Structure 1
Amino acid sequence: MKAKHDTREIGTEAERLAESFLIARNLRPIARNHRCRYGEIDLVMRDGAVLVFVEVRFRRSDRYGSAAETVDRRKQKRLITAARHYLKINPSNSPCRFDVIAIDGHHRIHWIQHAFALDST
Structure 2
Amino acid sequence: MDDKHHIPREHGQLGENQARKYLEQQGLIFVEQNIRYPFGEIDLIMRQGKELIFVEVKYRSTSHFGGAVNALSKKQIQRLRRSAEHYMQIKKIDVICRFDLIAIDAGQLDWLKNAF
Q: Deviations over 1:3-58 (max 9, x none)?
A: xx971111111100000000000000111111101111000000111100000001
Does the 8 Å CA contact 2:88/2:94 hold for their aligned counterparts? Answer: no
- Whole-Å separation in 2 of the counterparts to 1:17 and 1:78: 23
CA RMSD in angstroms comes to 1.4
Show the 5 A alignment for 1:1-121. 7-105=8-106, 107-116=107-116
- Whole-Å separation in 2 of the counterparts to 1:61 and 1:6: 11
- Whole-Å separation in 1 of the counterparts to 2:7 and 2:58: 15
- Whole-Å separation in 2 of the counterparts to 1:22 and 1:65: 24
SS at match of 1:9: helix
- Give aligned pairs, total: 111
- Whole-Å separation in 2 of the counterparts to 1:103 and 1:115: 14
Superposed displacement of residue 62, structure 1: 2.3
Question: Percent sequence identity over matched residues?
Answer: 39
Query: 5+ unaligned residues in a row in structure 2: which ranges?
Result: 1-5
AA paired with 1:114? N
Counterpart for residue 119 of structure 1:
none
AA paired with 2:101? V
Output the TM-score relative to the length of structure 1: 0.87
SS at match of 1:114: coil
- Whole-Å separation in 1 of the counterparts to 2:7 and 2:23: 25
Does the 8 Å CA contact 2:7/2:60 hold for their aligned counterparts? Answer: no
AA paired with 1:25? Q
SS at match of 2:64: coil
Output the TM-score relative to the length of structure 2: 0.91
Superposed displacement of residue 70, structure 1: 0.9
Query: 5+ unaligned residues in a row in structure 1: which ranges?
Result: 117-121
**Which of the pair is proportionally richer in helix?**
2
